[in-house]
């Protein structure tokens, strides 16, 4: 299994930075994870935070379904070359927002694929409306796999936060867990600013000990019993790999990485 971290770039390979972050090149390219499963690394986005903004590298996940359709999780900024590569896999039938932060590019993808179903995570409709983002969602994700992909993907809503609920997925055949913000794992060598490196370390989101950022973890106070029940369901999937939206993902030892990253839920 190939990883795509900075440490695997050859010395002669050009390293591109954007907003002070080293990118996971090549961007807008299907990178195989397992049979019928790919990741695509995208450009940096900036998230508003405490009067400023924080740079985040982006990553989406693509899976093919038995009916020949394509399932797209947290789509990154569209690129014509990427869209053509995905078209070669099959018709795009599902565009998935895993939480109310990960939705910004669903609108443009929906314009390209108007027949695809845009799936809403908890709170994303309200979030998009408050941000005046033009996006039309068709259906809502639930706490069990949708019939359209039940044989390929499992899912649950990770509850307990007072602010953000995330829909997490498992690619069944490869035992690959697909997360968005419940684990973030930024490699220090990818962050140019010493100040940001310190801030992300304090936030608990730097490799090799990435986890949910501290501000998100605080929203579970007094409700960790709810989160623990969700975690136990997720852990029972016994994933081998964990795809993350931000930072280095885990191509092996998924169960051990989960135990480490979610130890903040321990009583």
Q: Please state the pTM of the whole predicted model.
A: 0.92
Query: What is the rounded CA–CA span in Å between residue 21 and residue 44?
Result: 8
Number of domains into which the chain is organized: 1
pLDDT for the residue 55: 82
Q: Is 189 left (phi over 0), alpha (psi -120 to 50) or beta?
A: alpha
| Domain housing 231 | 6-265
Is position 83 within any domain?
yes
Tell which residue, 234, 61, 241, has the closest CA to residue 155. Answer: 234
Q: What is the CATH number of the domain that holds 212?
A: 3.60.15.10
pLDDT for the residue 47: 72
Tell which residue, 14, 33, 12, 10, has the closest CA to residue 23. Answer: 14
pLDDT for the residue 194: 92
Mind spelling out the 3-state secondary structure of the chain? Answer: CCCCCHHHCCCCCCCCEECCEECCCCCCCCEEEECCEEEEEEEEEEEEECCEEEEEEEEEEEEECCCCCEEEECCCCCCHHHHHHHHHHCCEEEEECCCCCCCCCHHHHHHHCCCCEEEECCCHHHHHHHCCCCCCCCEECCCCCCCCCCCCEEEEEECCCCCCCEEEEEECCCCEEECCCCCEEECHHHECCHHHHHHHHHCCCECCCCECCHHHHHCCCCCHHHHHHHHHHHHHCCCCEEECCCECCECCCHHHHHHHHCHHHCC
Q: Tell the residue number behind the tokens 């964990």, with chain if given.
A: 242
Strands 21-22 and 17-18 come out as antiparallel
pLDDT for the residue 51: 59
Is position 1 within any domain?
no
Across the chain, which has 267 residues, the per-10-residue mean pLDDT values are: 29 60 94 98 80 82 98 97 98 98 96 98 96 94 97 98 98 98 96 91 97 97 98 98 98 98 96
Is position 204 within any domain?
yes
């Amino acid at each position: 299994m190939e990883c795509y971290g900075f440490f695997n770039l050859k010395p002669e390979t050009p390293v591109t930075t954007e907003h002070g972050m080293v990118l996971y090149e090549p961007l807008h390219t299907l990178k195989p994870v397992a049979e019928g499963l790919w990741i695509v690394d995208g450009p940096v986005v900036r998230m508003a935070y405490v009067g400023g903004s924080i740079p985040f590298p982006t990553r989406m996940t693509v899976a093919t379904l038995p009916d020949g359709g394509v399932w797209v999780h947290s789509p990154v900024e569209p690129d014509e070359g990427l869209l053509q590569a995905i078209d070669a896999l099959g018709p795009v039938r599902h565009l998935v927002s895993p939480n109310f932060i990960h939705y910004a590019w669903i609108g443009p993808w929906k314009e390209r694929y108007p027949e695809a179903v845009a799936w809403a995570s908890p709170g994303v409709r309200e979030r998009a409306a408050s941000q005046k983002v033009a996006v039309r969602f068709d259906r809502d994700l639930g706490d069990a796999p949708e019939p359209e992909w039940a044989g390929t993907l499992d899912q649950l809503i990770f509850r307990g936060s007072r602010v953000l609920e995330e829909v997490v997925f498992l690619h069944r055949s490869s035992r690959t867990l697909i997360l968005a913000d419940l684990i973030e794992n930024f490699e220090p060598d990818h962050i140019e600013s010493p100040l940001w490196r310190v801030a992300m370390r304090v936030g608990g989101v730097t490799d090799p000990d990435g986890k949910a950022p501290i501000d998100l973890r605080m929203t579970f106070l007094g409700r960790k019993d709810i989160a623990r029940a969700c975690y136990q369901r997720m852990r029972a999937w016994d994933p081998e790999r964990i795809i993350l939206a931000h930072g280095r993902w885990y191509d092996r030892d998924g169960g051990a990485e989960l135990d480490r990253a979610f130890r903040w839920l321990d009583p």
